[in-house]
Amino acid sequence: MKKSLQCIAVAILLAGGVSSKALESDAQLSQLGHTAWRIRDGAFKGAVNGVTQTADGFLWIATDNGLLKYDGVRFTQVGSGTILALQAAQDGSLWFGTGQSLFHLRSGQVEKLQGPDVHVNSIRQDVHGTIWFTRSRSTSGPLCEVVGSKFHCLTAADGVTLPYAEALAADAKGDLWVASGSRLLRDHSGIFREFPHPELSAAETSNGIESLTPRADGSMLVGITRAGAGLGLQSLKDGIWHDAYSDPISSSDWSVTSTLVDRDGTVWVGTSDKGLFRIRQDGIDRFGESDGLSGNAVSSLFEDDEGDVWVGTKKGLDRFRNLAVTTFSTTEGLGSDSVHSVAASLQGGVWVGNKGSLSLLRDGKAINYSPKTGLPGQRVTALLEDHAGRLWVGVDADLYVLEKGRFTRVLDSEGHATGAVVSIEEDTEQNVWVLASRRPYALFRLSSASRALEVQPLGFDPDAIVADPAGGIFIDGGKHGTPLVHFQRGSTETWTPKTVIQRTSFAFAKDGSRWASTFHGVELFNRQESRFLDKSHGLPCNHVFSVVFDKLDNLWVYSECGVISISNSELSKFKTDSRYSVRSHLFDIFDGALPNGADFAPRLTRSTDGRLWFANGTDVQEIDPSHAQHAAAVPNAEIDALVARHVEQAAVSGVNLPALTRDVDLKYTAPALAIPERVRFRYRLDGHDKEWQDSTTLRDAFYTDLRPGRYTFRVVSGDADGNWSRKEAQFSFTILPAWYQTKTFLALCAALGSLVIVLAYRLRIRQIRREAQARYDERLAERTRIARDIHDTLLQTIQGSKMLADTALVQMSEHDQAKPRVQLLSTWLGNAMEEGRTALRSLRTPVIEQQSLASLIEDALDDCALSSKIITALDVAGEPTAMSVCVREEVYRIAYEAITNACLHSEGTRLDVLLTYGEAFELQVKDDGIGIASELVKEGRLGHYGLAGMRERARFLGAVLTFTGSPGEGTEVLLRVPHSRLLENARPSIWVRIARLIRGERH
């Protein structure tokens, strides 16, 4: 069997470097919190050979089937093979040995020491920081020292005369102790001295010294795997061997495999077949497989930083830890597991009312009164120890006084039994009050002057009484629908008349405030009113069994969710502000609390040493307020691993995940070995989460459908009271993009898309031009037809008319009075023919197709200047934009009409035309003439269609046409054509046609 790694903890203890508390030395093993992980249950594989803890708080377990790392929740296998020995180094690294070599685990990397193969049995670090290990199956020295990445072994030439070495220890003085099966050596300043043991001389190869543990008094505990006289657990001090313990049990009868001295000096002993022994000042505990230990063959013992003791066995791993709430039951000596009441004794300890017994608990030991030893009945109900030290006891349906070991029955004034006693109280005047169940309840008083109980007439049914520290007693009948009353010297006063509720216990603070436990929270009451401290005000739960104040006036609440502690300062804030939410600390099931109600009073008490005791109907529980507030520091979080595509890998920052990785599981933890259920976490993934995720006890963060990119995962740990660690763990990783998710591919897609858009635009322009040309050709053909018809009809008629007029002129004499008129008619007909031919030329070969819009408008302005005295000007702003023939013709016709109107009707002196090319095309025609009436703009002039034609053309273009002006201020015509319409054909869009249809227009 191989050794545990307890000596480094002992060295630190001796140096005074540990501040955390050890396991309670006066508590029995059965009262400690115990957890077992068994191999047969699948917790892990392989017998445990050693246990240690590194500086980061993680526990390491050496097994026959690998090296395990434990955070309080998960066992993670770090290495395979048989691990024989462990040692946590001062620098935070870990040393472990196998049957072939010594290894060093540092910063997640494992390094094998250079040198020949060695069978490592034990590893220790001395006070100077040097790593030593023992080995066997070698002829080159049993004790080796690590030097850099190599090791140097000591032989007989160095004073180490052992054929092999197993057990190894380093004491606080710097001495090194090394042993084989039968021989023990000490290295002091490089000089080895042997301490022979007469009973081991024949055990050179087996069943010898298995463990070495230094003690604070300078002695050495030596564990020997052979039992018998002078064997078992031995102590070596000042060179003298003797049995470590001989009374009340002989330690030489044990086959010792491992030993541990915890930081309080309590000795733990592991054996090969009898399980675990714990040696206290007042006795010895044994804990074996029948008590719940994973196995009777103990291989290692270790005490962690929190003071918990770990026991490695051949069948599993066990942990023993302190419980803030200690339980006393039949296992600890009580007569029965049916506790009804508990009362403090003036001599120390408490009285416990039980079924079939009355017990006195003092100094961890129980003295029981049973029917066989004088108890006058079977069921003990209510209890009270009065000012004189007499114990008043309710037994079955009677009341007794226990004084000097004798029970004396107490009857009422008529000589009758009291009935089942529910509660007993003593007031400030030393009157004893007894509440008993007589169907209905009856209240008795025994004054210092009377010798019998006197019935007190009340007029209502009480179900609880309590002495008021200010005098008198409180009587509660809430269970029967009666309010709380105060009774003193024959007078009754009603308190809190509006509150009718059952109260199970009362507590009175030093400042005079009064509190009561109810099923709706803790009640704060006075004469006029009451209010409740419940879940809405910070209490963890509402169902309260009992309340009590400690010596510092902090309130302790025994509730359905555990024992709740509320400081006096928090209570003061609640008393001042009824809306205040108090801060409290909960000791729950993980702290040993087993809350429940009891049937009789007192349900709780405070003993003379300040400890608080609670009866829960089965056991009696105790908590020490002076120690219960100890809180371990919040452990720092650590990110363990990342799981992507069902493959787990170490969480090393900068890792690149393959393309198309969408689901990621991030595993994190925080080493909390005692109560890992209390650890809370909050986390966020930068690049995905905008806020921190809510606190949770889970140790995995799942993310789905993550996009390619760089992410940073952050996590921080905290405790159940809302305290968070200042240090957060971080881990960065990158999800690589697939080829179609790269920036290059996206840029190519964008370029290709742009090219497609450009091509589509150009194709659309071509289509528009073709449509516009087709429309134009259609219009041109129509104009040609019109020109032909005009030539064949109207012009022929005019020409014939002119010829007729010319013939008439030839035939007329010079003195004919009609001749001038005919001459004028001939001239007009000639002009009409010329104008008609001009129109025909315009229709057949339009100048619009040959000229730009600006030149067309310039021609129109020139014509205007010839026919009137108005000054004209044309300006062009912006770069001219391509414009389809149809659009240009419509714009020109609107401009021509506006210019003609200004020339003929404005009576102005100046006419300005502005063409603007930009996001939209604008035509502005402005004069400084007499203006235009608003009615004329809206309705037009009867029989004239110029304005109406301009509007129709504008609608045809999908443009906006506005007329601005008033009499005497000139007129402005503004046409705005959207850029998208400049190259389109004259056919309006579907939306324009729908709008026209809604308006009832034909065009």
pLDDT reported for residue 817: 79
Reported as type and span, the H/E element at residue 770 is helix 743-790
Q: Are residues 337 and 313 in the same domain?
A: no
Helix axes 819-844, 743-790, angle to 10 degrees: 150
Beta bridge partners of 791: none
Q: How confident is the model at residue 919 (pLDDT cuts 50, 70, 90)?
A: confident
Distance CA 65, CA 72 (A): 20
Q: Are residues 459 and 366 in the same domain?
A: yes
Looking at 294, 321, 348, which one is the last position of a domain? 321
Beta bridge partners of 694: none
pLDDT reported for residue 355: 92
**Each residue's pLDDT tens digit, 291-334:** 999 999 999 999 999 889 999 999 999 999 989 999 999 988 89
Burial class (CB in 10 A: 0-12, 13-18, 19+), 784: middle
Q: Rounding to the nearest 10 degrees, give the CA dihedral for residues 359, 333, 260, 306.
A: -60
Q: Are residues 317 and 415 in the same domain?
A: no
**Each residue's pLDDT tens digit, 804-814:** 888 888 888 88
Residue with tokens 């609440």: 557
Looking at 593, 628, 663, which one is the last position of a domain? 628
Cis, bond preceding 440 (omega within 30 deg of 0): yes
Residue with tokens 């008349």: 497
Q: What is the CATH number of the domain that holds 666?
A: 2.60.40.10
Q: How confident is the model at residue 447 (pLDDT cuts 50, 70, 90)?
A: confident
Cα–Cα distances in angstroms (integers) from residue 117 to residues 132, 139, 251, in the given order: 16, 12, 38
Q: Is residue 30 part of a domain?
A: no
- In this prediction, residues 252-257 reach a mean pLDDT of 92
Helix (H, G, I), strand (E, B) or coil at 225: coil
- In this prediction, residues 18-39 reach a mean pLDDT of 76
pLDDT reported for residue 846: 53
Percent of the chain past pLDDT 70, that is, above it, reads 92
Q: What is the CATH number of the domain that holds 227?
A: 2.130.10.10
pLDDT reported for residue 271: 95
pLDDT reported for residue 886: 77
Sign of the CA dihedral 993, 996, 1002, 1003?
negative
Q: Is residue 811 part of a domain?
A: no
Residue 789 has pLDDT above 80, yes or no: no
The listed range with the strongest mean pLDDT (376-390, 470-484, 669-683) is: 376-390
Q: Are residues 988 and 886 in the same domain?
A: yes
**Which position has the higher pLDDT, 250 or 360?**
360
What is the chain's Cα-based Rg?
54
- In this prediction, residues 64-73 reach a mean pLDDT of 93
- In this prediction, residues 755-782 reach a mean pLDDT of 82
Q: Are residues 405 and 481 in the same domain?
A: yes
Q: How many other β-carbons are positioned within 10 Å of the β-carbon of residue 21?
A: 14
Q: How many other β-carbons are positioned within 10 Å of the β-carbon of residue 850?
A: 9
Percent of the chain past pLDDT 90, that is, above it, reads 52
Mean pLDDT, the chain, as a whole number?
86
pLDDT reported for residue 12: 30
pLDDT reported for residue 996: 53
Q: Are residues 587 and 694 in the same domain?
A: no
**Which position has the higher pLDDT, 246 or 665?**
665
Q: Is residue 769 part of a domain?
A: no
**Each residue's pLDDT tens digit, 146-202:** 998 899 999 999 999 998 999 999 998 989 999 998 899 999 988 999 998 888 875
Q: Are residues 290 and 395 in the same domain?
A: no
Q: Is residue 991 part of a domain?
A: yes
Residues 357, 371: contact at Cβ < 8 Å?
A: no
Looking at 699, 724, 741, which one is the last position of a domain? 741
Number of domains in the chain: 4
Q: How confident is the model at residue 1 (pLDDT cuts 50, 70, 90)?
A: very low
Q: Which two tokens stand for residue 610?
A: 């300040």
Q: Are residues 620 and 685 in the same domain?
A: no
Q: Which two tokens stand for residue 557?
A: 């609440």
Sign of the CA dihedral 256, 260, 264, 265?
positive
**Each residue's pLDDT tens digit, 550-598:** 999 999 999 999 999 999 999 999 999 989 999 999 999 999 999 999 9
- In this prediction, residues 264-274 reach a mean pLDDT of 93
Q: Which residues form the domain of 552?
A: 328-628
- In this prediction, residues 843-870 reach a mean pLDDT of 74
* Residues whose CB is less than 8 angstroms from the CB of residue 98 and which lie 6 or more positions away in sequence, other chains included: 81, 82, 83, 84, 120
pLDDT reported for residue 505: 94
Q: Rounding to the nearest 10 degrees, give the CA dihedral for residues 297, 302, 308, 311.
A: -10
Q: Are residues 865 and 727 in the same domain?
A: no
Burial class (CB in 10 A: 0-12, 13-18, 19+), 691: exposed
Q: Is residue 953 part of a domain?
A: yes
Q: How confident is the model at residue 386 (pLDDT cuts 50, 70, 90)?
A: very high
Q: How confident is the model at residue 867 (pLDDT cuts 50, 70, 90)?
A: low
Distance CA 518, CA 495 (A): 16
Residue 904 has pLDDT above 90, yes or no: no
b/e per residue, 181-191, with b = 16+ CB within 10 A?
A: bbbbbbbeeee
Q: Is residue 822 part of a domain?
A: no
Residue 247 has pLDDT above 80, yes or no: no
pLDDT reported for residue 604: 95
**Each residue's pLDDT tens digit, 511-559:** 999 999 999 999 999 988 889 999 999 999 999 999 999 999 999 999 9
Q: How many other β-carbons are positioned within 10 Å of the β-carbon of residue 729?
A: 21
pLDDT reported for residue 378: 93
Q: What is the CATH number of the domain that holds 862?
A: 3.30.565.10
Residue 710 has pLDDT above 50, yes or no: yes
**Closest CA relative to residue 213, chosen from 16, 6, 17:** 6
The listed range with the strongest mean pLDDT (13-17, 241-245, 765-769) is: 241-245
- Write the secondary structure of 884-950 as one string of H (helix), E (strand) and C (coil): CHHHHHHHHHHHHHHHHHHHHHCCCCEEEEEEEECCEEEEEEEECCCCCCHHHHHHCCCCCCHHHHH
Q: Is residue 34 part of a domain?
A: no
Q: Are residues 661 and 703 in the same domain?
A: yes
pLDDT reported for residue 852: 83
Q: Is residue 787 part of a domain?
A: no
What single DSSP character describes residue 355?
B
Q: Are residues 170 and 317 in the same domain?
A: yes
Residue 249 has pLDDT above 50, yes or no: yes
Q: Are residues 353 and 300 in the same domain?
A: no
